[in-house]
Amino acid sequence: KYTKFSISYYWINSLDQKTSIHTRSENVAIPSGEENKTATLSYDYRIVPLEDTSSTGTYYCEVKWNDVQKMGKGVFVLARDTGYINTSYGWKILVTLTVLLAVLSITATALLLWKRK
C-alpha cells in the first residue's frame, strides 16, 4: 500500500501563492523479510539557481500516498540582489584599536625619554 507515492516540491511566496517546482513518483520495492517494518528513505532535490529576489519564500516538500499526505515544516529562503554581505566590523575595530594603542605607546615612550634629557 505504501510502496507507491509521489514527492512534490513547491514554494509559497509572500502573497501566499503556491508554486510547484518539481514532482516525482516513486515505487519502492520492499525486500522479503522487511515487510511491516518502518523504513526511512532520503530524497534530495536541489533548487538552483534562484531567479531573483522574487524567489524569496518558504520552500516545502510533500509526500502523498493513496490516503495519506505528509508535508515538511518548510525552509524560508531570502533571496537578495547583491548576495550576502558580512556586516561584522570586528576585525576592523580590533586592528584600529591595536594601531591606536601602539601609536600612543610609542608617543608616551618618546615623551618620557625626551623629558628625561
Q: Which three cell numbers stand for residue 106?
A: 610609542
Domain extent listing, the chain? 4-77, 86-116
pLDDT value, residue 84: 63
pLDDT value, residue 96: 92
Decide if 14 contacts 56 (C-beta within 8 A): yes
List the chain residues with pLDDT less than 70.
1, 49-52, 82-87, 117
Q: Give the fold, CATH level 3, of 4-77.
A: Immunoglobulin-like (2.60.40)
pLDDT value, residue 101: 96
For the stretch 70-86, pLDDT in tens is 998 999 988 777 666 66
- Please name every residue paired with 69 in a beta bridge, in sequence order, or none if there are none: 64
DSSP symbols for 24-68: EEEEPPPPTT-TTS--------------SGGG-EEEEEEEE-SS-
